Amino acid sequence: MYALIAMVLALTLLVALLHLKVKLGRSMLLSSVGLAMLLRVTPNEFWQTVVHEWHNKPFSQTTGYLFITLTALVILVNVLGAAMAETGVSKRLAPALQGLFRSRRFALSAVPLMMGMLPTPGGIMLSAPMVRDLGDHIGVDRTRLAAINFFFRHQWEAVWPLFPAVPLIQGMFGISAFVLISHNMAITLLGTLGGVIFLLLSGIPSRSKENQFIGRFADNARNFVHAFWPIALVATLYAGVNLPPAIGLLLALLIFLALHKVSLNRWARIFKTGIEPDFALLILGALLFKLNLEAGQAIAAVVQFLSEMNVPKHFVIFFLPLLVGFLTGVTMPTVAITFPFLAPFIGTGQEAKVGLETLAFSGLACGLLLTPVHLCLVLSASYFETSLTRIIVRLLGPVVFVAAAGVLMAVFFG
């Protein structure tokens, strides 16, 4: 019980600091320090956790590696946005997207949906510049843009095999990929429907003359390719040769500047414009928060507490992943921590009630979509220059649809 209270207090501190207009990075860092104090994590325990992580996790999952690569990724995304502005590419992107898709709503959601197939931490920043430029051109408020980019970016985690949680769950319950994906597809479909209803059907200004479709298809396609190819290159290199996105983006950025014949004396200004120190603090704070949870053995304590309370089975299946997802803001650790605990309720092999697994994943998805410690959410708030609270309020409606998907699957297939 105490571990749960400590987590809630640490998140309350984060929200309070944000209301006091403390920058996101500093707020996250202070919240992680507060959590360490509340969980009584000693320096030695913290260090032992780091050492254990170093010896028992793949190098690409260690805190140090994630800090360097994620910080580089978000900064380079910012630099790419500055480069696109410097070369005039971003100015041509908005009308190109409108011309190609004709529907402004479809254009706003299609970009994060496409980029959401790239399962990289902080990958939300790959679509953010396009969504922001198009939304600003149309006249959509930044909070709604942040919610659109964030929500549609996360519609594939339950079904897309490149997300490691999908094959992990498949192996854990001994079910086929087809069975798992066909059941979890309800989360993607209903979630997308909720996003359309609450984020796209309202809040999009009526077309004005300057927002009407102008230009030939070929011109619009060329302008879109000019803006999209760096992101496509990053995705291709990551999926094809497993090149870290930060390195791929740096390569794409250098090629972009060279192709547009940007003089070397302008490169320094472009890179300087994109560097934001608070991004580094933000990522460091989020990673330390998760590390302190592990060092303080908080998640295990919460799982034990709920099991001892004898709460109803369906509530545990939905709420436990929601709670852990809300507290950690990360999919894989939540699956690894909670799904083995839920296996006796759900069953395995031919006895598995896959509808109950969908209920569990929908709870996880709800927690991830609403937690202020989700890295993608805090990055969105920073990049779109809005508040976490406002984004979360926008997400409440779509999240109800995500929860409904799990409930319906549990009722009919549980």
Identify the top-confidence range among 167-176, 221-230, 302-311, 397-406.
397-406
Residue 209 has pLDDT above 50, yes or no: no
Residue 191 has pLDDT above 60, yes or no: yes
Tokens 């509340």, residue? 38
Cα–Cα distance measured from residue 163 to residue 357, given in angstroms and rounded to the nearest whole number: 16
Q: Which residues contact 378 (CB under 8 A, 6 or more apart)?
A: 24, 28, 282, 286, 372, 388
The total number of structural domains in the chain stands at: 1
Residue 99 has pLDDT above 90, yes or no: no
Output the pLDDT for position 47: 92
pLDDT tens profile 221-236: 888 788 778 878 887 7
Q: Which residues contact 220 (CB under 8 A, 6 or more apart)?
A: 95, 96, 97, 99, 100
Q: What backbone phi and psi angles, to 5 degrees, belong to 162? A: -70, -15
Output the pLDDT for position 140: 92
Residue 84: give the domain boundaries: 2-413
Confidence at 11, pLDDT banded by 50, 70, 90: confident
112's enclosing H/E stretch is: helix 104-115
Whether residue 2 contacts residue 39, with contact meaning beta carbons closer than 8 Å, is answered with: no
Neighbouring CB atoms inside 10 A of 18's CB total 21
| Total residues found in the chain within this entry | 414
What are the CA-CA distances from residue 361 to residues 131, 193, 321, 323 (Å)? 27, 18, 7, 12
Residue 302 has pLDDT above 80, yes or no: no
Q: Please give the full DSSP string across 59-99, using - where no structure is assigned.
A: GGGSHHHHHHHHHHHHHHHHHHHHHHHHHTHHHHHHHHHHH
Whether residue 25 contacts residue 279, with contact meaning beta carbons closer than 8 Å, is answered with: yes
Alpha helices in 210-312 (DSSP H): 217-241, 245-259, 264-274, 277-295, 298-308
Confidence at 248, pLDDT banded by 50, 70, 90: confident
Output the pLDDT for position 73: 79
Share of the chain above pLDDT 70, in %: 94
pTM: 0.72
pLDDT tens profile 101-119: 777 888 889 888 887 876 6
Output the pLDDT for position 330: 76
Output the pLDDT for position 122: 64
As a whole number of Å, the CA-based R_g of the chain is 22
Share of the chain above pLDDT 90, in %: 26
pLDDT tens profile 333-369: 778 777 877 888 898 888 889 999 999 999 999 999 9
Neighbouring CB atoms inside 10 A of 140's CB total 22
Cα–Cα distance measured from residue 123 to residue 246, given in angstroms and rounded to the nearest whole number: 10
Residue 42 has pLDDT above 60, yes or no: yes
